[in-house]
Chains A and B, each alone.
Chain A
Amino acid sequence: KAGVTQTPRYLIKTRGQQVTLSCSPISGHRSVSWYQQTPGQGLQFLFEYFSETQRNKGNFPGRFSGRQFSNSRSEMNVSTLELGDSALYLCASSLEMDRPDTQYFGPGTRLTVL
């Protein structure tokens, strides 16, 4: 079974631009979560989606948003990019047959903001 896939793997943007990152979960998984990883702050939770609904949100400004589609694929968007948004963005999916559940991570998208 294919793992979690994220596209693109690398992105370079400039301040003020916006960006959209995509995540395809493991087949059959219904929940998708997003995390930001930086050297300074470590791994921080962004949001979680289940059945096209945001179920949980971390402490990030409104410039960070996301959505989930009916096929469980998810996108996250960052508007008005700042230098501090440079990070590895990780997507994780889980089956959601029972809670708690195990999250399986994708390879990440490396975003560099210049």
Chain B
Amino acid sequence: AQSVTQLDSQVPVFEEAPVELRCNYSSSVSVYLFWYVQYPNQGLQLLLKYLSGSTLVKGINGFEAEFNKSQTSFHLRKPSVHISDTAEYFCAVLFDRGSTLGRLYFGRGTQLTVWP
């Protein structure tokens, strides 16, 4: 069965510190991976995605993520965070099972709080 796990529900960090938000998935089929960010009272904004090609992908706002097929992970990183990065971050996966390919499966989210 397919599943998406975000290991940390909350991650507090100080401004200018590095951060890693973890995402693991379980699947027996090919996957396509996404990170979205949600600010209070807003929808989801796409940060970055992995569909194919290089396993290291760069996104907006200085974020990057690496697809590790052997460890079934897609962790999100930023070398130096800013207070404006405070938000909830969601890992999402498309599982390549034909007709259900359009259905995104989400992790439970990680609340990133950046302190001054």
Contacts and interface: CB of A to CB of B under 8 A. Distances in A.
A90 B102 contact: no
Given A43-B90, A107-B43, A33 B102 contact: yes
Contacts of B41: 110
Contact of B43 (A48, A90, A101): A90
Contacts, number: 63
Contacts of B104: 33, 35, 43, 45, 92, 103
B43 A56 contact: no
A31 B107 CA distance: 23
B8 to A, nearest CB: 15
A77 B45 CA distance: 25
Q: Determine chain A's interface SS by DSSP, over half rule.
A: strand
Contacts of B49: 102
A94 interface: yes
Contacts of A100: 32, 51, 94, 96, 101
Interface string B13-50: 00000000000000000001010100001111110010
Interface residues on A, range: 20 to 34
Interface of B: 32, 34, 36, 41-46, 49, 51, 90, 92, 94, 96, 99-109
Contact of B46 (A44, A45, A102): A102
A1 interface: no
B41 to A, nearest CB: 8
A90 B44 contact: yes
A110 B42 CA distance: 10
A44 to B, nearest CB: 8
Given A99-B102, A100-B94, A100-B101, A105 B34 contact: no
Contact of B99 (A43, A55, A94): A55
Contacts of B32: 100
A108 interface: yes
B90 A33 contact: no
